[in-house]
Chain A
Amino acid sequence: MHGIQSLHVLKGPVREKEKREKERSELRDLVGKNLHVLSQIEGVDLDMYKDTVLPRVLEQVVNCKDELAQYYLMDCIIQVFPDEYHLQTLETLLGACPQLQSTVDIKTVLSQLMDRLSNYAASSAEVLPEFLQVEAFTKLSNAIGKVIEAQVDMPAVGAITLYVSLLTFTLRVHPDRLDYVDQVLGACVKKLSGKARLEDGKATKQIVALLSAPLEKYNDIVTALELSNYPRVMDYLDNATNKVMAVVIIQSIMKNNTYISTSDKVEALFELIKGLIKDLDGSPVDELDEEDFKEEQNSVARLIHMLYNDDPEEMLKIICTVRKHILTGGPKRLPFTVPPLIFSALKLVRQLQGQDGDVVGEDVPATPKKIFQLLHQTIEALSSVPAPELALRLYLQCAEAANDCDLEPVAYEFFTQAFILYEEEIADSKAQVTAIHLIIGTLQRMNIFGVENRDTLTHKATGYSAKLLKKPDQCRAVYACSHLFWVDDQDGMKDGERVILCLKRALRIANAAQQMANVTRGSNGPVTLFVEILNKYLYFFEKGNPQIYSAAIQDLVELIKTEMQGDMATPDPSANAFFASSLRYIQFQKQKGGIMGEKYESIKV
C-alpha cells in the first residue's frame, strides 16, 4: 500500500523527468510484485479479496492520480488475480473505472478484462452459470456505456474496439441470447449515429470484425439476419467496405452450405448485400476494377443457387424477391445475375411439371404458365445491356421447357423471340453460326408444334442457315437442318422428302464452295464437306429414308474420290483420313450381314 502512495509523491516538479520515470517504473514493478505476492498468499481467499484486498487496492489506485500508474495497476490486478474472483467482484472493479484519470486508456483495460473473461468462459461449460448469476453482461455493458459517455472525445475506433470485445464476450458466454448480441450492435449504432460514414481505416476494420464475429460464431447467416441492428451497423461503412462485408457474408453462406428458404429472409439478406446488387449513391460502377467486379457479381450469382425452398409457392416468392432486387442492378450486373435466376425458375417449372397441377379448390399461383411469363419479362431485361447472344440461349432453354409442359403457344413465343434476336441483334458471323445451331438443335427436339407452327420455324431455320456468310458454314447448317425433318422416336416425324432436299441443297452449296475455291485460290476447296454430307446420307440411309438410294451414295463416294485425285488437288490429310474411316465404316456395315448388310450390299468401296 505504501508503494502506491509513494508513487504519488514522485510527481513532484523537483525531480528530473528521466530520473522520475526510472523511479516510477521501479516502484511500479515493486507494487506489481507486491500484488502478485498478495495473490499467492493462501489466506487471501475470495471473501478476503472481495471484502478487504480489492477495495483497499482500488482506493489507492484511484487516489494516486497518476495515469500511467493507474493503467498499469488496473492491468496488473486483472492479470494477477484469478478470473473467478473478477467475476464475483465485477461491480466493484468496474465501479473504479469512471473514477480513474480521464486520460487513462480505460478501454484497453476493459477489453483485457473482457478477453480474460471470454477465455474463462470458453475454458469450461461449468463456469457459464456463474456468469449468468452475477449478471456479467449487463454490468459490463453498462460500464462500457458509462466510459464512452464520459470520454466524449474518444475516437470512433476506440468505442468500436470496446464493442468488439464485448461482442466476443457475449458470443462466448451467451451465444443463445441474440437479444444481447443485437443490444451490443445497437449500442454501436447509437455511438456512430449522427456521424457521417466512417473514413477511418482502423475504425472500419473494427466494424468488419464486429460484423464478422456473429457470422463466424453462428455459421448460419439466418441467425445474423435476425439481428435488427446488423444492417444498421453496415450502413455506417463506406461503400467499398460495405461491399467487402457483403462478400464476407456471401462467403460465409457458401462455406457453410446454408440454404435460405423464405422470401422474407431473402429480402433481409439482399438488404444487407445491397452494395453488390446495385449502385449505392455516389459510387458509379466504373470505379471498380473489372476483374474485381466480375468476381463480386459471380459471387452474387452463386448465392442465388442457395436460395431455395421445396414448397413451390414459397420458391416462387423467393424468385420474385430476387428478381425485384437484381432488376435494380443496371446493365452491367444483369448478365451475371439473370442467368442463375432463370435456371432457378426453370427448375421450379420442372418440379411443377411433375405435379400435374391438380390441387383441388386452392388458388395456386405457382404454375408453369405464370413462371414462363416471369421468365419472359426477365430475359427481356437483358436487352438493356445488351446481351442478345445470352438472351437467345435463355429463350431457347425456356422454349424447351415450355415444350415439356405442353404449352405450344408459349414455346412458339420463345422461339419467336429467339429468331428476332438472331435477325436483329446478332451480326457477328461466328456468333451467328453458333446461334443457328442452337436454334436448329432445340427445334429438332420440339414435339409440341402443330404442322403450321413447325413449318414456319423450320422454314426460318433453313433459310437463315443458307444465308450464313461462309459457304462451309452454310453447308453445315443446312445439312444440320435435315434432322428437323426426321425425329427418331416412334411418333416423331419422318419426312424423307424434306430430308433429301436439305442434303441436296447442302451438296449444291458444297459444290459452289468448290468452284469458288477453284476460281479464287486455284486449288481445290473443302472436300471434307462432301465427306460430311456423305456421312449424313449414310445416317438417313440406315434410318430407312426411302428417298435415299444406294446409287446416290455410290455417286457421292465416286465424286469424293475424283475430287481427291484431281489435278488441282492439294493433299488434305485430315479429309483423307475422314474419308478413309467413312469407307471403313461402310465396309463394316456391309460385313454385318442381316438387314444392314443387305442395305449396303450394292455399295462398292
Chain B
Amino acid sequence: MVLVLALGDLHIPHRAPDLPAKFKSMLVPGKIQHIICTGNLCIKEVHDYLKSLCPDMHVTRGEYDEDARYPETKTLTIGQFKLGLCHGHQVIPWGDLDSLAMLQRQLDVDILVTGHTHQFKAYKHEGGVVINPGSATGAYSSITYDVNPSFVLMDIDGLRVVVYVYELIDGEVKVDKIDFKKTATAHSAH
C-alpha cells in the first residue's frame, strides 16, 4: 500500500490565504509516501510546507508559480503504475478530456494528473485514468464557478489504485472513492 497525495492550484497568497484548517489537520507528516503537485502553489512557503509532509515531492509548473524551475511535465513510476504530472494550462482546450488523453499517450502513463480548472475529475478511458485533484484551497477560477476545496489521495496496491477524493463542502469534509484496476497485459514501450 503506497499513499500518494495529489493536490494543486492552491494559489497562495494570490487567491487564498491558506489551506483550509480541516485539511491541514488531516495532512500529517509521515503518513504519505509521495506528493504530486499540479502546480500554482505559488510561493516557497507552500513548497516548504508540503515538503515537510513528505520529502518525496514532485511539482510541475503552474503559470503563477514563483519558482520558474519546476518542469512543464513530470513522469514517475510508483509500484506498477506510471504517473504523469502536468499543470494543464498547456493543454488546450482547457479541461478537454480528449486533449488530455493525447497528453497521456504522449507521456505514456497509466495515470495522468493535471489541474488548472480547479474542478475535481477522475475519469477512466481506454488509455488509463485522468485525475484532476481540483484546488486544495478552493481558489477562484475563471473556468469553474463555486470551487470547493479538494485534494486526492491515491492508494496504490499492486495493479489496483483506489482514488480517494476529499472535498470541503459547507464546512464539512466529504470523502468519495473510485477504484481503478490496471489490466495485467499492460503495454510496454519497447
Contacts and interface: CB of A to CB of B under 8 A. Distances in A.
Interface of A: 254, 257, 294-295, 298-299, 301-303, 305-306, 336, 339-340, 343, 346-347, 350, 393, 397, 400-401, 434, 437-438, 440-442, 444-445, 480, 483, 488, 528, 531-532, 535-536, 539, 542, 573-574, 576-578, 580-582, 584-585, 588
Nearest to A433: B90
Given A298-B13, A585-B127, A483 B93 contact: yes
A444 B93 contact: yes
28 contacts: A294-B43, A298-B45, A299-B13, A302-B12, A305-B15, A343-B14, A393-B63, A393-B64, A397-B142, A401-B142, A441-B89, A441-B92, A441-B93, A444-B94, A445-B93, A445-B94, A445-B143, A480-B92, A483-B93, A535-B102, A542-B98, A573-B189, A576-B189, A577-B189, A580-B187, A581-B105, A581-B108, A585-B127
Given A339-B64, A350-B140, A539-B102, 6 more contacts: A306-B17, A343-B14, A440-B92, A441-B92, A445-B143, A574-B106
A contacts with B: majority SS: helix
B67 interface: no
Contact of A441 (B18, B21, B94, B187): B94
A532 B92 CA distance: 13
Contact of B108 (A294, A440, A574): A574
Interface string B124-160: 0011000000000000101101000000000000000
A140 to B, nearest CB: 40
Given A400-B142, A434-B63, A445-B143, A578 B105 contact: yes
B90 A588 contact: no
Contacts of B101: 585
B24 interface: no
Contacts of A299: 13
Q: Is the interface of B mostly helix, strand, loop or mixed?
A: loop
A397 B63 CA distance: 12
A325 B15 CA distance: 19
Interface of B: 12-18, 21, 43-45, 63-64, 89-90, 92-94, 96, 98-99, 101-102, 105-106, 108, 126-127, 140, 142-143, 145, 187, 189-190
A532 B45 contact: no
A400 B144 CA distance: 11
B82 to A, nearest CB: 10
B17 A302 contact: yes
**Top 5 closest pairs, chain A to chain B, by CB:** A577-B189, A301-B13, A400-B142, A302-B17, A339-B14
B13 A340 contact: yes
A535 B108 contact: no
Contacts of A578: 105-106, 108
B64 to A, nearest CB: 7
Contacts of B12: 302
Contacts of A444: 92-94
A532 B18 contact: no
Nearest to A354: B145
Contacts of A437: 89-90, 92
Residue in B96, B98, B99, B187 whose Cβ sees the most chain A Cβ within 10 Å:
B98
A579 B190 CA distance: 12
B99 A539 contact: yes
Contacts of B96: 488
